[in-house]
Amino acid sequence: MLGRDGAPKSWGLRLFTVAGHQQMTVFLPNPFLGSDGRLASAPDWSRLAAWDYLRENYLALPPDPLDRSGSGLVCGG
């Protein structure tokens, strides 16, 4: 999901059926949240390792600098 500034604020993937119906959403670790689910004081970009792995191994894409451009989670933004 992208914030109003165009930077990502959550990472995941959605799986769809052949008919185009959403079947499942998988949320990946978020660099703006700690392991306890609370807002982190600073982003932990290492939490994007699973996202980077999926991009590289299934899409043949390198890590995207845009993924590390966000400044945090903002309510409503």
Hey, where are the domains in the chain?
12-62
CB-based contacts of 49-56 (< 8 A; 24+ apart in sequence): 51/11, 54/13, 54/28
Look at 77 and 9; give whichever has higher pLDDT: 9
pTM of the model as a whole: 0.83
Taking residues 31-41, report their average pLDDT.
Answer: 92
pLDDT for residue 1 is more than 90: no
pLDDT for residue 6 is more than 70: yes
Give the model's pLDDT for residue 4.
84
Give the model's pLDDT for residue 75.
62
Over the Cα atoms of the chain, what is R_g?
13
Residue 54, helix vs strand vs coil: helix
CA dist., res. 52 & res. 8, Å (int): 14
pLDDT for residue 77 is more than 80: no
